[in-house]
A and B are shown apart, each in its own frame.
Chain A
């Protein structure tokens, strides 16, 4: 090949790189490893991450049962080794799957249109706010403090350089956003009101009231949904202007935080302000139905600095997982999943209360609840939880200093009743000598 090129050596091909740029020593990286060695390394690493333990962590990343067809299907090379469907004729699989995903997200959320996905829920929320700024021409941003703290951090990163800051609204003793305070914060310059439901504490917000408040001031309501399984039973935010959704719960592995798939859905009238890819129906030259990427004039590769976003990739393979998950569970399954989550969480709330622990925030909740253990108790319970192979709740102190001692506990359908009972026992204020399991059986 070198001869065909007219080069004497491989080095010749790199000769035009100035000498001072060239790396003249080997990279300080070990020799190539064989497959057994690689498996060994990662199996060792995986073993250090509590495999097989029951987990009560949610907080934006939810463990739901993933039926086996998902991985079987997405492991086909035609799905995962393809790229963006620029050439529609040889990408109809990806395009139709995206179209189906968009449709299912619309059905779930009550919106008219949904994009092909964003990076995750946090960036979807931030981009939804940028979208609202563009639509309204206003600059005020009002966010419920009961929205995911990391989502709010991302939003601040996205808007700070524009000299903007989100105004945060506190929560009521029942765990929902203080709507009166929220409305008082709205004004003629408010572009967006951002409310999450179920919120970070698991409490279900009132979409209609939030939308009414926003609309009275000409602002857009951005409905944030971090746990999509909730939509199996909860009313969708049909009154919202934009929905920013994290699709992870729909069959995407928790996987230490990613990759996930965010989505922005909205009403028809805001379509042209929507960021991200869109698949649309088209006809080929013989009139046959197919799908193409469409409305690309919103996007960076056409509009460059005038695009609606700088986003290029979506999370197509994750969106595909969600589409397969939604197809398998379907209309009945999603409702049954949601009901099981509700039931398990209600059971856990009762068990905590029965054990003498205070369950905060009495408003209706989905699959998370906040339990006040007392400062230091969550950390003190770690050894007991480890013995039981349980990952406990998330201590809220880092993001809500006023909730020091409280943990956010998520109870999905994957957690058996016995694990809930063991968790309660480990957290219960037991006399030092008593075995916590006996304490529970005493109830």
Chain B
């Protein structure tokens, strides 16, 4: 297949900002002081010398520097970004506009409540909508990201069990889970017990029955799981956990497969987090900020982090700090408020019908890719998927071509790669999540590209193994970088 989607164009080189720097250049101007200049002698030894090697550049140089750097990036705005588990959907521009309105962008989190009603209303309304979407009873928006939400949820579970007078020490985690799950359990002081997947790619009920003892605090379950499969035995899983005194935590990273179609609160989940930067379209920003609200059933409500936003009988909103059973505070202030604004704008724009259709389109697109690549790549779990599908490089391995190579070659075809080598339960995994944002033409091109690469892997494997061939740089040496780390510039 001829590569038609991508071509080369002028790409500027650009050094580090420090290498552009020269004494006396400046990119700012402050108004003159309208009060007497500071007397610096009082600082004595508390005062510093000038900041050695700090940048000195002009405004235009800053603009060009960061513009040139940006052209070396690939974003959702550039093209299909089917990075599995990350839900790289379109980030609507109206979200950005409303988040920059002066009252919201400049408002201070400690402003008196009477001067914060608009911001509190945004949080209150978003909370209400998220509870309706999840079927849960109470929520905190405070956690700053998914993993932070996991920690919040696990600490709340610990608090509830302690209140019941129970000391349980283990958290169960399926082998297909995100790495954050076991890391969270560990940072919260729990031992991690891994749970095997069955031949269908879902929780092995017999294994669960075996390990679910009275020392287990919770099962952390991703549903649909990282293979894109709905845990069809969820009812029995939840019952088993609950009968033995544990709680069911749901990693809601894949909630975009369920919105408007199924609610975790209706299938036995006690605590869950949401990723506003996945399901609710807030931008990924090159790696963050995210936001990870945590929704709970009423039994866990007393333990929510402070503050909790409440509405008085007169409709006035306030932040309630007087909650004696709270786990405490997870982050300063209210959390990543700017993400709440964007997520609420997204929910409002979609409405009840749009939210449901978004879910349907995401699932439709993933299944279309699953069908489209059948035969070209091995499909370890050949079942209808939800929002993502996971192939493996098993067929290409025969020619020495791995999932990582195929991913690099996809770049030449003009696409961002899928997620490489995850989940760990699939050897050589290729985890593809198109999201609802891709149209059929784009999916067809993507399928054609991956099929062409599969053919190349057989006929000219070296071409795949040495990809990408069209980028500014290629195949950076990560091993040497880690062996002798250079983590900052020095003159």
Given contacts A235-B45, A283-B477, A330-B26, 6 further A-B contacts (CB under 8 A): A32-B349, A35-B94, A75-B96, A84-B286, A160-B328, A328-B28
- Give chain A nearest CB distance to B29 CB in angstroms: 9
How many angstroms from the CA of A151 to the CA of B330 in the assembled complex?
9
B375 at the interface (CB under 8 A from A): no
How many angstroms from the CA of A5 to the CA of B372 in the assembled complex?
8
Question: A256 and B148 in contact (CB under 8 A), knowing A233-B48, A310-B186?
Answer: no
With most chain B CB atoms within 10 A of its CB, the pick from A87, A89, A286, A320 is: A89
How many angstroms from the CA of A398 to the CA of B76 in the assembled complex?
44
Interface window among B395-403, B454-462, B482-490:
B482-490
How many angstroms from the CA of A309 to the CA of B185 in the assembled complex?
11
How many angstroms from the CA of A255 to the CA of B384 in the assembled complex?
43
Residue-wise, chain A 272-301 has the 8 Å CB interface mask toward B (1 for contact) of 000001111111111010111011110111
B313 at the interface (CB under 8 A from A): no
How many angstroms from the CA of A156 to the CA of B65 in the assembled complex?
42
How many angstroms from the CA of A305 to the CA of B118 in the assembled complex?
41
Provide the residues of chain B in CB contact with A7, threshold 8 Å: 367, 384
A346 at the interface (CB under 8 A from B): yes
Q: Are B349 and A33 in contact (CB under 8 A)?
A: yes
How many angstroms from the CA of A69 to the CA of B465 in the assembled complex?
41
Q: Are A259 and B338 in contact (CB under 8 A)?
A: yes
Question: A280 and B182 in contact (CB under 8 A), knowing A256-B109, A335-B50?
Answer: no
Q: Are A18 and B107 in contact (CB under 8 A)?
A: no
Interface window among B208-216, B242-250, B355-363:
B355-363
Residue-wise, chain B 65-81 has the 8 Å CB interface mask toward A (1 for contact) of 11101111111111001
How many angstroms from the CA of A52 to the CA of B371 in the assembled complex?
55
B165 at the interface (CB under 8 A from A): no
Q: Are B101 and A327 in contact (CB under 8 A)?
A: no
Q: Are B98 and A29 in contact (CB under 8 A)?
A: no
How many angstroms from the CA of A222 to the CA of B39 in the assembled complex?
29
A311 at the interface (CB under 8 A from B): yes
Interface window among A9-17, A136-144, A186-194:
A9-17
Q: Are A89 and B468 in contact (CB under 8 A)?
A: yes
Partner among A53, A256, A285 whose Cβ is within 8 Å of the Cβ of B116: A256
Residue of A nearest to B53 (CB): A107
B299 at the interface (CB under 8 A from A): no
B206 at the interface (CB under 8 A from A): no
Provide the residues of chain A in CB contact with B476, threshold 8 Å: 88-89, 282-284, 290-292
Q: Are B364 and A233 in contact (CB under 8 A)?
A: no
Provide the residues of chain B in CB contact with A397, threshold 8 Å: none
Q: Are B284 and A83 in contact (CB under 8 A)?
A: yes
Question: A73 and B37 in contact (CB under 8 A), knowing A335-B50, A336-B30?
Answer: no
Question: A1 and B62 in contact (CB under 8 A), knowing A61-B109, A81-B75, A104-B55?
Answer: no
Q: Are A65 and B488 in contact (CB under 8 A)?
A: no
A100 at the interface (CB under 8 A from B): yes
Residue of A nearest to B367 (CB): A5
Cross-chain pairs A/B with CB under 8 angstroms, 5 sampled: A23-B266, A50-B111, A256-B116, A346-B36, A416-B34
Q: Are B283 and A317 in contact (CB under 8 A)?
A: yes
Partner among A65, A73, A278, A420 whose Cβ is within 8 Å of the Cβ of B63: A73
B345 at the interface (CB under 8 A from A): yes
Question: A259 and B289 in contact (CB under 8 A), knowing A49-B116, A332-B56?
Answer: yes
A39 at the interface (CB under 8 A from B): yes
B108 at the interface (CB under 8 A from A): yes
Provide the residues of chain B in CB contact with A103, threshold 8 Å: 16, 18, 488-489
Interface window among A120-128, A368-376, A426-434:
A120-128
A212 at the interface (CB under 8 A from B): no
Q: Are B78 and A41 in contact (CB under 8 A)?
A: no
Question: A16 and B474 in contact (CB under 8 A), knowing A327-B62, A344-B35, A417-B35?
Answer: no
- Give chain A nearest CB distance to B297 CB in angstroms: 16
- Give chain B nearest CB distance to A269 CB in angstroms: 13
Question: A38 and B106 in contact (CB under 8 A), knowing A21-B266, A84-B286, A285-B477?
Answer: no
With most chain A CB atoms within 10 A of its CB, the pick from B40, B51, B62 is: B51
Provide the residues of chain A in CB contact with B45, threshold 8 Å: 235
Q: Are B70 and A79 in contact (CB under 8 A)?
A: yes
Residue-wise, chain B 9-32 has the 8 Å CB interface mask toward A (1 for contact) of 000001011100100011110100
Question: A82 and B74 in contact (CB under 8 A), knowing A130-B187, A315-B289?
Answer: yes
Q: Are B367 and A317 in contact (CB under 8 A)?
A: no
- Give chain B nearest CB distance to A135 CB in angstroms: 16
B383 at the interface (CB under 8 A from A): yes
- Give chain A nearest CB distance to B304 CB in angstroms: 12
Q: Are B51 and A82 in contact (CB under 8 A)?
A: no
3 closest Cβ pairs, A-B complex: A257-B333, A77-B77, A317-B285
Provide the residues of chain B in CB contact with A417, threshold 8 Å: 34-35
Provide the residues of chain A in CB contact with B411, threshold 8 Å: 87, 89-90
How many angstroms from the CA of A42 to the CA of B251 in the assembled complex?
30
Q: Are B86 and A83 in contact (CB under 8 A)?
A: yes
B339 at the interface (CB under 8 A from A): yes
Provide the residues of chain A in CB contact with B337, threshold 8 Å: 255-259
Residue-wise, chain A 383-419 has the 8 Å CB interface mask toward B (1 for contact) of 0001000010010001000000000000001001100
Provide the residues of chain B in CB contact with A22, threshold 8 Å: 261-262
Q: Are B287 and A44 in contact (CB under 8 A)?
A: no
Provide the residues of chain A in CB contact with B353, threshold 8 Å: 26, 31-32
Partner among B81, B348, B383 whose Cβ is within 8 Å of the Cβ of A83: B81
Provide the residues of chain B in CB contact with A196, threshold 8 Å: none
- Give chain B nearest CB distance to A367 CB in angstroms: 10
Partner among A23, A306, A328 whose Cβ is within 8 Å of the Cβ of B59: A328
How many angstroms from the CA of A239 to the CA of B15 in the assembled complex?
32
B150 at the interface (CB under 8 A from A): yes
A72 at the interface (CB under 8 A from B): yes
